[in-house]
Structure 1
Amino acid sequence: MSRSKRRKVASPLPMRDGVSASHVWLGEGNWPNVLAFMAARFPAVSEAEWAARMERGEVVDLEGTRLRPDSPYRRGTCIFYYRELAHETPITFAETILYQDEHILVADKPHFLPVIPTGRFVRETLLVRLKHKTGLSDLTPIHRLDRETAGVVLFSHNLATRGIYQSLFQKRAMDKVYEALAPTRPDLTFPLVRRSRMVDGEPFICMTEVEGEPNSETHIEVLECLGELSLYRLHPVTGRKHQIRLHMAALGMPIVNDAFYPVALPCKGDDVSRPLQLLAREIRFTDPITGAMRHFVSERSLNFVP
């Protein structure tokens, strides 16, 4: 089965409290049974826990048939299961829905809330919260924000038109504006444009700039000088990971409370006392379905407290 077909499979398990079932395809292997494979594939979950989930009917194949601990391992089988965490840190900051129609949903994300399930967060993510709140099982983000960044996020919940909205980002037809608090640079002339070649850096989660043809571009202007800090308006023309954060740091204006740039600091864990002062303020685009101009603005604000 091709990769493209694998992405389109429908889950026989229903959405549960906003959490859609995950799936894994079985490839070549000599596992004695499904239980042995699942325990090895997901070592954070014990064999006993996988067996208990199977007994509850929470591990099934593509046809919805319950898989048991002794079910044979068969190449080409697609297994559906719910991803669960033994402990998940509650995130007390709330998201809001700015807009919803038959095709899209626009949310205003708080700082510290991941957009999608990843790592140590499943239920405490924007996607799962919105699915639970709206019942929209096909909800999918069209773009992403870092967990540390707050602001406007666009979602699709209509499979028939999802690709049309996704193409807006591919064609750079989506105008995104950010705001950031960062050190004042009276020696620089604004507005200015930062172009550079960005590649993966160290640690792996960070990006870095290298010599070569630019693959990233950010337009920067000063909205207000607040003394040692200034409020900046940023327009990323491209959408590289951590682009704004890296560009600001490279200009000697690291965003307030940035734990990655210019230097990656030790993990803050569950500390939410120092939010990154970066906000996805607005998104503007021509709706590809209706032709209407869409303009969505975050209701949040940056508020640095030293």
Structure 2
Amino acid sequence: MPAVTNISCYRFARMDGLKSLRERLLAFCKERALKGTILLAPEGINLFVAGAAPAIEELLAELRALPGLEDLAPKYSASDEQPFSRMLVRLKKEIIAFGVEGIDPATYTSPRLEARELKKWLDEGRPVVLFDTRNDYEVKLGTFKNAIPAGIDHFRHFPEAVAKLPAELKDAPMVTFCTGGIRCEKAAPFMEQAGFRNVYQLEGGILKYFEEVGADHYDGECFVFDQRVGVDPGLRETGSAVCFACQAPLTVEEQSDPRYIGHVSCPHCFRSDEDKMAERIEARHAALRQVTVPLPGSQPYENRRPIRIPGELDGKTILEVLEILFAHISRDEWLAHLEAGHILDPRDAPATPDASVRAGEQWTRVMPGVVEPAVNADVAVLHEDEAILILDKPAPLPMHPSGRFNRNTLVHFLHAAWHPEKPRPAHRLDANTSGLVVCARTRHFAKLLQPQFSRGEVEKLYLAKVHGHPAEDRFTLDASISDEPVALGAREIDDAGQAALTEVTVVRRDDDGTALLEVRPLTGRTNQIRIHLWHAGHPIVGDPVYLPDGGRGDTQTLSPEDPPMCLHAWKLRFTHPRSGERVEFDAGPPTWSIPG
């Protein structure tokens, strides 16, 4: 014989003194080892309680002694184990949350239809519309044949579901039903208010129907709000469970599905790694749009740039330091900055030209009213895991603050969109170069990732569109490149510079006099691909610095309206800093590389 008796019931009745009643009922139930939930509200009582049969009857006697609850008639069922973990008595505004004014089951309810009468109607094939007022996850376990589900995830949304019903149903016989009848006490009168003229409510709900009629005209089982999850038409506990993650009820068959992982997922909420990645990327793109529209550097702001004093300049004046560190700016300009109070000492006080500096100090350059040039902010996230972030960087977009750019930079965008994280790019691309950028998500992974670039262990493949047709299909460029920049930060071919090696393969030679190349830089010098191809007589189309015929341009960073510089970081292959496996990423070819 089952050891536990389960009861469920409700009653709409005027109730007061609820706080003291709550304390009394809680103590009463705990003394008798009863467990479950009792909801008390000014409109009535709703309860689900389980325990030993004598204790259950004592509780019913206690409740029936309250005004308005004299004829409290619960539904009984039995279970081998206690379905509840504790005893709760809660005070609520409503015993069934609905939130619609003017619905008062204590004074009016729609006509009630007994279970046996409904079965008779269905047996006779009478035209009747069965309307399931329960939530979608409850309907999933079972419902009456041909019933119309409300299609809601909370009873508060029931009015919206009624508004969607076809107008022709307003004259049809409508029978609302739910688990135990309580929702229909409000649902059916609401439907009458909405203009439905022939509404009934199933007395006692599905559980009472099971008790009196059984399974006739019903498919499946009934969801119940305790650890049993579901009961069959014999009111016996079924093998159904509830997903820990999404709370969806699960049949025995669904629990055998490989997507059901205890405390993790079920067939209804399971997401593949690809799905999870797509969701993360969509969220990241939304965050990037939020921090880049409008561009953060498009509105005037005060930009403060640090000036760190190197050891060899110890004891010099700040004016001398500025002239040495920033040789491209004239002495007169620095004097004007100092006079305007735009150079601050380590205490944030305006500096005089003859103020002495000390090695290791940090001074500050204040740049008021800064408005940065526009950039292309259409950053695409291609991959994200716990260790790395793979981006397709648009152009023009500087990666780091420099020159005229501070906020309109990739790093600023990332720090704003990933806050409080600060993704760290593991390498650099020119502002005018598009394509793959690898970032580490933490300092730990940066220490494992960045050295791969400096040691030349990362395989890099670029696409470049160049002026002229190279004579050979495959060739290698090995001219050394200077360490020190010249105008516009450019570098030069210099035999005394750093060794540089670039492998080139011609993909095609086009009729317009340009050629598409696959380029593999085997070393990582600044501007290496651009300089090598320029020096070989095949400068990159759109390069604003390294021009055809050996010329030099006067623009460092293009504007978004300019024709693009046709250099694209296409593919990367490196060792993943967490798994230790070689991984490869592909940004796809840019539009300028596609024929036609």
Note if contact 2:445-2:577 (Cα within 8 Å) is conserved in structure 1. no
Deviations 1:238-272 (A, max 9, x none): 01111111111122211101122232112277643
CA distance in 1: counterparts of 2:579 and 2:394, whole angstroms: 29
In the alignment, does 2:590 pair up with 1:293?
no
Query: Gaps (5+ residues) in structure 2?
Result: 1-290, 298-302, 319-333, 351-355
- 1:130 Cα shift? 1.4
- Structure number with the bigger relative contact order (C-alpha 8 A, sep ≥ 6) is 1
In the alignment, does 2:478 pair up with 1:189?
no
**Which 10-residue stretch deviates more, 285-294 or 82-91?**
82-91
Change (3 A) 1:191 1:126: same
Match of 2:389 in 1: 105
Note if contact 2:396-2:431 (Cα within 8 Å) is conserved in structure 1. yes
- 1:97 Cα shift? 1.4
Change (3 A) 1:92 1:216: closer
Match of 1:152 in 2: 436
Report the TM-score when normalising by structure 1: 0.72
Choose from 249, 252, 257 the match for 2:542. 257
CA distance in 2: counterparts of 1:248 and 1:109, whole angstroms: 22
CA distance in 1: counterparts of 2:537 and 2:551, whole angstroms: 12
- 1:81 Cα shift? 9.7
**Which 10-residue stretch deviates more, 205-214 or 130-139?**
205-214
Secondary structure at the aligned position of 1:219 is classed as strand
Choose from 513, 528, 531 the match for 1:243. 528
In the alignment, does 2:433 pair up with 1:139?
no
Give the letter for the 2:551 counterpart.
V
- 1:94 Cα shift? 1.0
Match of 2:519 in 1: 234
Note if contact 1:168-1:174 (Cα within 8 Å) is conserved in structure 2. yes
CA distance in 2: counterparts of 1:212 and 1:78, whole angstroms: 34
Deviations 1:15-46 (A, max 9, x none): xx799996555775789xxxxxxxx7993995
- 1:115 Cα shift? 0.3
- 1:78 Cα shift? 5.6
Change (3 A) 1:29 1:265: closer
Match of 2:285 in 1: none
CA distance in 2: counterparts of 1:174 and 1:193, whole angstroms: 18
Secondary structure at the aligned position of 2:413 is classed as helix
Secondary structure at the aligned position of 2:516 is classed as strand
Identity score, percent = 23
Match of 1:3 in 2: none
CA distance in 1: counterparts of 2:575 and 2:422, whole angstroms: 23
Deviations 1:219-253 (A, max 9, x none): 00012222222210000000111111111112221
Secondary structure at the aligned position of 2:381 is classed as strand
- 1:212 Cα shift? 6.2
CA distance in 2: counterparts of 1:300 and 1:41, whole angstroms: 49
Choose from 501, 506, 512 the match for 1:217. 501
Change (3 A) 1:99 1:203: same
Secondary structure at the aligned position of 2:501 is classed as strand
CA distance in 1: counterparts of 2:376 and 2:574, whole angstroms: 31
- 1:77 Cα shift? 6.3
Choose from 337, 352, 358 the match for 1:43. 337
Note if contact 1:182-1:229 (Cα within 8 Å) is conserved in structure 2. yes
Choose from 432, 454, 464 the match for 1:180. 464
Query: Gaps (5+ residues) in structure 1?
Result: 1-16, 32-39, 52-58, 62-66
Change (3 A) 1:21 1:251: same
Secondary structure at the aligned position of 1:209 is classed as coil
Give the letter for the 2:566 counterpart.
Q
CA distance in 2: counterparts of 1:102 and 1:83, whole angstroms: 37
Change (3 A) 1:21 1:120: closer
- 1:117 Cα shift? 0.9
Deviations 1:137-180 (A, max 9, x none): 43222111111111111112311232211110122110111101
- 1:69 Cα shift? 4.6
Name the count of aligned residue pairs.
Answer: 267
Match of 2:181 in 1: none
In the alignment, does 2:374 pair up with 1:90?
yes
Secondary structure at the aligned position of 1:282 is classed as strand
Match of 2:144 in 1: none
Change (3 A) 1:177 1:28: same
In the alignment, does 2:568 pair up with 1:279?
yes
CA distance in 2: counterparts of 1:236 and 1:247, whole angstroms: 10
Q: Which has the higher helix share?
A: 2
Matches within 5 A, 1:124-135: 124-135=408-419
The CA RMSD over aligned residues, in Å, is 3.8
CA distance in 1: counterparts of 2:421 and 2:369, whole angstroms: 21
Change (3 A) 1:120 1:210: closer
Match of 1:267 in 2: 555
Secondary structure at the aligned position of 2:538 is classed as coil
Secondary structure at the aligned position of 2:590 is classed as coil
Give the letter for the 1:303 counterpart.
W
Change (3 A) 1:291 1:91: same
Note if contact 1:89-1:270 (Cα within 8 Å) is conserved in structure 2. no
